[in-house]
């Protein structure tokens, strides 16, 4: 698979993580966004991520140079014409994804592996915007992609075995452990984690415990590496809320109704690590500040 031409569409947090993982594995890729400037910003974000790894002695400056040299920023979607793997990581909106796949359907070869990284949306509904629904598949990577060893390979109702096996090969190329998921809202990881995050937010909002103590309880009590509130900050509070809203729409179950505190933080633009403030406060490199709990109780009033 060394000669495969790979394209990622969407240079946000998830697109950056996937690009870094692919380039670290030794493969070249094109990172596409609406403008070249946005794609280049994504590459800078990857560089900053690598710098943090260098600080932890995980990579070297030579590694950084080699990884970044394999990533080509672009705004030209037409380059998908000769891509063999196209993976989209655009925002979690069904209409946007359907519109993108409609374009890819016209541009890409019938042999192209077309992947959506959605965490909650229907693979089948996305696939129906093409005339090859059997060739569309979901691969739900988790953030940070370079550290989380799991990917959910999600079959749409019409996904064929050949497409599934290509997705397995791609997962193995990135040294990921994969599980097979049959289409259902939220799949496995999102469906299970979202109610827990939501409940942790309610516990905080109701004044049961501080943000630090909520996370400490779950880390020490249940062996979590990261507490639920810090995890939500890492994921992006706007992303977490979009997952909840999609699941609420699909399943009509109250447990997916976003906590009022989450709604207020998102409205205020306090989206977690990427904005420097969510349930906790962070520096420009994304490191949590000492005594860095944000005064979220002010958002409840």
Per-residue pLDDT reduced to its tens digit, 127-165: 999 999 999 999 999 988 999 999 999 999 999 999 999
Cα torsion at 273, 277, 281, 284 (round to 10°)? 60
Q: Confidence class of residue 287 from pLDDT cuts 50, 70 and 90?
A: confident
Q: What is the pLDDT of residue 40?
A: 97
Q: What is the mean pLDDT of residues 103-124?
A: 94
Identify whether the C-beta of residue 108 lies closer than 8 Å to the C-beta of residue 86: yes
**Residue 294: per-residue pLDDT:** 65
Confidence of residue 1 (pLDDT cuts 50, 70, 90): very low
Give, in order, the Cα–Cα distances in Å from 272 to each of 14, 32, 97, 207, 296. 15, 25, 25, 20, 12
**What average pLDDT does this structure show over 195-206?**
97
Q: What is the 3-state secondary structure (H, E, C) of 87-148?
A: EECCCCCHHHHHHHHHHHHHHCCCCCEEEECCCCCCHHHHHCCCCCHHHEEEEEECCCCCCC
Question: Residue 31 corresponds to which tokens in the numbers above?
Answer: 């990172």
Domain boundaries for CATH 1.10.1040.10 within the chain: 190-300
pLDDT tens per residue, range 6-15: 999 999 999 9
Q: Tell me the CATH number for domain 190-300.
A: 1.10.1040.10
For residues 132 and 141, give the distance between their C-alpha atoms in angstroms, rounded to a whole number: 23
May I ask the CATH architecture of the domain 6-182? 3-Layer(aba) Sandwich (3.40)
Residue 80 pLDDT greater than 70, yes or no: yes
pLDDT at 296: 60
- The CA distance from 70 to 72, in Å, is 7
Domain limits, CATH 3.40.50.720, in the chain: 6-182
- How do 150-155 and 177-182 pair as beta strands? parallel
pLDDT of amino acid 284: 82
């Amino acid at each position: 698979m060394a000669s495969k031409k790979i394209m990622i569409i969407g240079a946000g947090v998830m697109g950056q993580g996937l690009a870094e993982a692919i380039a670290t594995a030794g493969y070249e890729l094109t990172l596409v966004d609406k403008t070249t400037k946005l794609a280049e910003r994504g590459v800078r974000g990857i560089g900053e991520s690598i710098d943090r790894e260098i600080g932890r002695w995980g990579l070297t400056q030579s590694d950084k140079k080699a990884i970044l040299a394999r990533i080509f920023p672009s705004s030209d979607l037409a380059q998908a014409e000769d891509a063999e793997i196209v993976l989209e990581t655009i925002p979690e909106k069904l209409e946007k994804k359907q519109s993108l796949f409609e374009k890819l359907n016209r541009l890409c070869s019938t042999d192209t592996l077309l992947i959506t990284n959605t965490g909650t949306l229907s693979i089948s509904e996305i696939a129906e915007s093409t005339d090859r629904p059997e060739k569309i598949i979901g691969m739900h990577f988790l953030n940070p992609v370079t550290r989380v060893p799991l990917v959910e390979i999600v079959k749409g109702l019409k996904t064929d075995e050949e497409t599934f096996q290509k997705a397995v090969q791609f997962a193995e190329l990135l040294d990921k452990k994969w599980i097979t998921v049959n289409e259902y809202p939220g799949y496995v990881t999102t469906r299970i984690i979202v109610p827990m995050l939501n409940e942790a937010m309610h516990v905080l909002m109701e004044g049961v415990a501080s943000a630090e103590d909520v996370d400490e309880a779950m880390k020490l009590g249940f062996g979590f590496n990261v507490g639920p509130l810090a995890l939500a900050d890492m994921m992006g509070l706007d992303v977490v809320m979009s997952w909840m809203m999609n699941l609420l729409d699909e399943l009509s179950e109250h447990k997916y109704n976003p906590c009022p505190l989450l709604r207020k933080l998102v409205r205020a633009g306090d989206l977690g690590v990427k904005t420097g403030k969510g349930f906790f406060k962070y520096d420009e490199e994304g490191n949590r500040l000492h005594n860095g709990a944000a005064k979220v109780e002010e958002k409840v009033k």
